[in-house]
A = this chain, B = another copy of it.
Amino acid sequence: MARTIGVIGDRWTLLILRECFLRTRRFEGFQSALGITRHLLAERLKKLVRQGILRRIPYQESPKRHEYILTQKGLDLYPIMMAIVHWGDIHMVDERGRPLLHQHRKCGKDFDPVMVCSECGEPLSAKEVHTHPGPGARSTPPNPAASKTKARSRAA
């Protein structure tokens, strides 16, 4: 999770990605949609390309122009987006209501995203889930790296 947050956990990246999902593809498009500074936008796009979340592809020669489109890795961020949007819809909307609705093409209805268990299909909530170490577990739960913080304990 820390690694993932290193990629998407800043003030702009998720907003840029949202624009991608809303079909924005070009520098000016992102800039005017978000009001992000051009400097930061260029930085973030570069980073997202490096991370393999966006691909930068030319749409014209002379002058060279590129557009940014989501890779599969980027498309896979969709549940994160939807989860964030949904939480905002529940907890952050003003009296006017939701700014955006989502319609599921398959069934034709406006929907909310629901997170379910892949094994039994039941909706999930925090207390129904038990977390336990996996194969890549860190040796010193919950965080060994934290101890490089100069080991505030006497560390016998």
Residues of A within 8 A of B (CB): 1-11, 14-15, 18-19, 21-22, 24, 31-35, 70, 73, 75-88, 90-94, 96-107, 109-122, 124-126, 128-138, 142-143, 145-149, 151-152
Q: Are A104 and B122 in contact (CB under 8 A)?
A: yes
CB of A14 to closest CB in B, whole Å: 6
Q: Are A146 and B33 in contact (CB under 8 A)?
A: yes
CB of A129 to closest CB in B, whole Å: 5
CB of A75 to closest CB in B, whole Å: 5
- Within the assembled complex, what's the spacing in Å between the Cα atoms of A142 and B18? 11
CB of A19 to closest CB in B, whole Å: 7
Q: What copy number does this chain have within its complex? A: 2
CB of A93 to closest CB in B, whole Å: 6
12 more A-B residue pairs beyond the given contacts A3-B88, A96-B136, A100-B134, with a C-beta to C-beta distance below 8 A: A5-B14, A8-B84, A9-B11, A24-B142, A79-B124, A97-B135, A104-B120, A106-B120, A107-B119, A111-B118, A113-B117, A113-B124
Whether A109 touches B120, Cβ cut-off 8 Å, given contacts A99-B137, A126-B75, is: yes
Q: Are A102 and B73 in contact (CB under 8 A)?
A: no
Whether A119 touches B137, Cβ cut-off 8 Å, given contacts A88-B4, A125-B75, is: no
Instruction: Determine the chain B residues whose CB is within 8 A of the CB of A96 once the complex forms.
Output: 135-136
Whether A129 touches B105, Cβ cut-off 8 Å, given contacts A14-B9, A80-B87, A87-B77, is: yes
